[in-house]
Amino acid sequence: MAKASILAEGLYFGEGPRWHAGRLWFSDFYARAVKSVDAGGTVRNELEIEDQPSGLGWLPDGRLLVVAMKARQLLRVDPDGIKVHGNLAGIADYHANDMVVDGQGRAYVGNFGFHLDQELKARGVEGVLADHPVAKLARVDPDGSVHVAATGLHFPNGCVITPDGRTMILAETLAMCLTAFDIDSDGGLSNRRGWAPVGMRAPDGICLDADGNVWVANALAPECVLFAQGGEIIATVQTSQPCFACMLGGEDRRRLYMMTAPSSVADLVSGSPQGRIEYVEVATPGAGLP
């Protein structure tokens, strides 16, 4: 088991890490900011919004897309300011969350499906895992039109797209598994199937490597785990706190960045910046999207 090093501290809750233009970009929920960090750990603010930002991505022309969690909107950063790119409220039953943007600019956005913190407080982790509402995955096309991409998902969270653009792998956090879909030519998803069980882990953010394996941030424990299709564990990285998102970045995409925090419960982390960015060097580089 490898052990992660700490790159940066003083975040509230980091999510949606993306390697872009030589820096790791990410959302910091309770700072209401999109930030980036360089290889040496210097953090800078890139954007502030009047909401909690989550998933990040870019359109083919370079404009940034940001998920606004509470408003359930997908925002677009134009040269003249922030615009609403797509309204997710008709699909997302609660906070919008993580996202992947494909090579054509289609954005796939997950959501909680219900008030997670409230239910965890009332029924505990085991109770929520055993019984919870399912959710839909949204697809926002480049023209801003919003569509249902998939239904019946158990907290759709991190997702990746393979280098050929033909397969999506999605973390279903509350089903403790990774699920795959074929991506049709029009962006529709079909042929839903299990990709890998992850044991007693809650898969949050994920990223894909060039061997076709998937790194999984485990929201229930201080670890990030590399899974092969079918569920074989290839490697494990120990983090200092529970791990909520991961991204392969760096010049050669061989640095695994991990976003950690004491908890995902808003009341516990929103008042004190204890979140971290941790990292470890790995042998196999990142591949696909994001």
* pLDDT, tens digit (0-9, with 9 covering 90-100), for 276-286: 999 999 999 99
Amino acid in the structure at residue 145: S
Structural domains of the chain, count: 1
Sheet holding 255-260, edge to edge: 5-11, 275-281, 255-260, 243-249
- Model pLDDT, residue 78: 97
Residue 273 domain boundaries: 2-281
What band does 119 get if pLDDT is binned at 50, 70 and 90? confident
Total-model pTM: 0.95
The answer to whether residue 287 sits within a structural domain is no
Q: Is residue 19 part of a domain?
A: yes
* Residue in this structure with the two tokens 């965890």, named with its chain if needed: 120
Give the domain CATH number at 269.
2.120.10.30
pLDDT tens sequence across 38-69? 999 999 999 999 999 999 999 999 999 999 99
* Token output for 131: 């019984």
Q: How far is CA 7 from the centre of its chain?
A: 19
Confidence of residue 113 (pLDDT cuts 50, 70, 90): confident
Residue 271 lies in a domain: yes
Residue in 149, 152, 157 with CA at minimum distance from that of residue 188: 149
CA separation, residue 250 to residues 51, 98, 207, 209, 272 (Å): 29, 21, 14, 13, 29
Confidence bin at 107 (pLDDT 50/70/90): very high
Residue 290: inside a domain = no
In a domain, 63, yes or no: yes
Percent of the chain with pLDDT over 90: 89
Output the DSSP codes for 202-261.
-EEEEEEBTTS-EEEEETTTTEEEEE-TTS-EEEEEE-SS-EEEEEEESTTS-EEEEEE-
Please state, rounded to an integer, the average pLDDT across all residues of the chain.
95
Task: Report which DSSP code applies to 144.
Answer: S
289 belongs to a structural domain:
no
User: Residue 188's pLDDT is what?
Assistant: 97
Average pLDDT in the 148-171 region? 97
Domain membership of residue 235 (yes or no) is yes
**Does residue 114 register a pLDDT over 70?**
no
